[in-house]
Amino acid sequence: MTTEARRKRASISDVARLAGVAVGTVSNVLNRPDIVAPATRARVEAAIKEMSFVPNAVARQLRVGTITTVGVVVLDIRNPFFTEVARGVEDRLALADHTLMLASSDDDPARERKYLQLFEQHGVVGLLVVPSGPDLDQLLEVQSRGVRVVLLDAPAGSSGLSSVSVDDEAGGALAMAHLIERGHTQVVMLNGSHDIRQCAARLVGARRAASAAGLDPEAAVREVQLRALDSASGVEATLALADAPDGLPSAIFCVNDLVAVGVQRALRLRGGTALLESVAIVGYDDIDIASELAVPLTSVRQPTHEMGYRAADLLLAPESAEIEQVVFAPELVVRASSAR
Amino acid sequence: MTTEARRKRASISDVARLAGVAVGTVSNVLNRPDIVAPATRARVEAAIKEMSFVPNAVARQLRVGTITTVGVVVLDIRNPFFTEVARGVEDRLALADHTLMLASSDDDPARERKYLQLFEQHGVVGLLVVPSGPDLDQLLEVQSRGVRVVLLDAPAGSSGLSSVSVDDEAGGALAMAHLIERGHTQVVMLNGSHDIRQCAARLVGARRAASAAGLDPEAAVREVQLRALDSASGVEATLALADAPDGLPSAIFCVNDLVAVGVQRALRLRGGTALLESVAIVGYDDIDIASELAVPLTSVRQPTHEMGYRAADLLLAPESAEIEQVVFAPELVVRASSAR
DNA sequence: GTGAAAGCGCTAACAA
DNA sequence: TTGTTAGCGCTTTCAC
């Protein structure tokens, strides 16, 4: 190791010169060591160590065309849902010695576009993206240029893309059916904008379950739309419900666990543990601490890690592989919050 | 947009041919549009669109040497602490149009080494790494080859690296001083292995605070080492304490919030809410749901996002910039769990 | 088994 | 203003 910072990294020809061989030979000891004579190989390896030579993957990529980088665009890496997915992706890529370039679009189409472009310029093998809107044109364009694209957490429909997603209608239905079984015939659903596909689908599912149970879907599931999908909005909406003429419902279905956390906080604020325990709550995502809340939260779990893993798997599949749309089934985890 | 997948991406010379100009001219409209005649520029731009040409950043990089990718290695991206840090990094990099390659080392030096090598081969401008052990040799080597390296969440000491970290001794002291102030003269610290720098430092800090308050540090802070730093270990350790001859202490300081969550779970399991409220608990990290637990958790907060942001800032600093070691101060967030 | 050389896509220097 | 060309570091024929 040299003590002083080098201005430029050593190249293969520097090594060749030092070892007194041709660059092709150095390349050979790097890539097919078996075909070079032991003596020469030793000499080259010594030179490599001596110069602390690190092969330039960029030059290699330019030459051979192929590359081992995958771009991932999620809405926000701080969201545990996405970090679990990202970890699944990473774990699958590691098996293939690929690396992951990651970006958060913040659900902003402009940011998404910027990152897609950046990644494509960098020549990624493929792109895993949680689309920020319903417009898949740019993704299709990218795919038409030979970059594999897999949609994450959104069904690709008939667009011609591969995708890995979870059945959100089924999730909504699961939650609602459970509440109905527990005797609730009127639930409030704290939901996000229907521009968010998941939100719309979960409501559809909930209403479907109501119908299936012989209830009037519109009456059985009253929707309240939130500005944001965090705990603060959950608090706000719950307080508003409590202050409304109708008062609090006997059951609340939250479009995600953070909102549910807010609901719990608001209930405790308003009426202490007694009130908190008197209304049934179901969340969505089954985040880590759902089981650790004041009242452990019943929640719909999605196979996050597996989604990421599978998506990376599709991406890495041989070129010949067909477009495939994987839909995972969610699962209900019942805890105290819906025990009545 | 072509319907059919292209076998190969269009190159700058394809565009030049179509537009009837030289490659240099195409390069110019890409990089210095102002110096090319409007008419030619329009023609070239049309050709670019026509072929849906995407400049090859790899070739560009090979040519100009400079690049806009930064490698980040954390222990586990699922850990909220690291995802917050990563988001800080990402936010800073976005300002400079840089992208982030991310990997989780799982605290395994071999994995760390592999990723560092991968990133270096890819020619990253720099590396932000949460070191998996005390051995910084590889990082120094990498830096000696001209790759900027900034340590994350670990002080670089006199190694010659830049670093951004949080003062863990101060954090431990903060927690202990608070408990002392609340009247506890004997606390149990649920800690991890001292091989983990943070664990060792937090204990040192806690004992320092005890000394400062005139207590015998060894007696005031009794350490119990955990196998793992998750809630399951917290449960296990707490049950063991409860069953021991000495019984439960009046206060427990947990090396992180997950452990604290486990402690709360165990206490509730053993003696219900009453027991839970009878022992003071302080956690570390101030994770999102610390405020949402059955008994909201007092915790030591670290400026995670800012750490990442600052680290990226150091990395992006002009070459001339000096080695710098930034140490952030933690902050105590007091909630009900330590109110007695 | 090894060397020489072409060429991947691009930029920058220089020529026209 | 535009064209021509060398060369970034590497792999891969093709001779030797």
Nearest CA distance, A215 vs chain B (angstrom) = 34
Q: What are phi and psi of B71, to 5 degrees?
A: -95, 135
pLDDT of residue A140 exceeding 70 = yes
Q: How far is B190 from chain A (nearest CA, A)?
A: 19
Q: What is the CATH number of domain B168-302+333-338?
A: 3.40.50.2300
pLDDT band at A1 (very low <50, low <70, confident <90, very high): very low
Total beta-carbon pairs less than 8 A apart between chain A and chain B: 166
CATH 3.40.50.2300 correct for B68-167+304-328: yes
Of residues A190 and B273, more confidently modeled: A190
Say what the pTM is: 0.85
Q: Which residue has the tokens 């010695």?
A: A97
The per-residue pLDDT for A340 is: 61
For residues A47-64, average pLDDT: 91
Residue A334, burial from CB neighbour count under 10 angstroms (0-12, 13-18, 19+): middle
User: Which segments in chain B show pLDDT lower than 70?
Assistant: 1-7, 319-320, 340
User: Torsion-angle region of residue A278: left (phi > 0), alpha (psi -120 to 50) or beta?
Assistant: alpha
Separation in Å, CA B281 to CA A108, A192, B256: 41, 36, 11
Q: What's the pLDDT score for residue A133? A: 84
Check pLDDT > 80 for residue A80.
Answer: yes
Where residue A290 falls among pLDDT bands split at 50, 70, 90? confident
Of A1, A103, A140, which is closest to B90 when you measure between CB atoms?
A: A103
Query: pLDDT by residue (tens digit) across B264-285?
Result: 989 988 988 889 899 999 999 9
Task: Give the three-class secondary structure for A77.
Answer: coil
**Amino acid (one-letter) located at A126:** G
Exposed e or buried b per residue across A141-155, where buried means at least 16 C-beta atoms within 10 angstroms of its C-beta: bbbbbebbbbbbbbb
Which among B69, B123, B293 has the least Cβ separation from residue A292?
B293
Helix (H) or strand (E) holding B132: none
Give residue B191's identity as a one-letter amino acid code: N
Question: What sections of chain B are H helices per DSSP?
Answer: 12-19, 23-31, 38-51, 57-64, 80-95, 109-121, 137-144, 168-181, 197-212, 217-220, 231-243, 257-278, 304-316
What pLDDT does residue B234 have?
95
Q: What is the pLDDT of residue A129?
A: 96
**A268 and chain B: CB distance < 8 Å anywhere?**
no
Domain ranges of chain B: 12-63, 68-167+304-328, 168-302+333-338
Say which residues have a Cβ less than 8 Å from residue B47's Cβ, sequence separation at least 6: B15, B16, B18, B19, B26, B53
The rounded distance, in Å, linking the Cα atoms of B307 and B165 is: 7
C-alpha A300/C-alpha A284 separation (Å) is: 5
Mean pLDDT of A124-135: 92
| pLDDT at position B1 | 36
Fold match flag (A12-63 vs A168-302+333-338): no
| Rounded Cα gap, residues A183 and A186, in angstroms | 9
How far is the alpha carbon of A14 from chain B, nearest alpha carbon, in Å?
14
Residue contact A58–B69, C-beta within 8 A? no
Mean pLDDT of A207-228: 97
pLDDT for the residue A289: 81
Is residue B61 less than 8 Å (CB to CB) from chain A? yes
Half-sphere exposure of A256 (CA within 13 A, CB side): 22
A4 touches B at CB < 8 Å: yes
The CATH class that applies to domain B12-63 reads mainly alpha
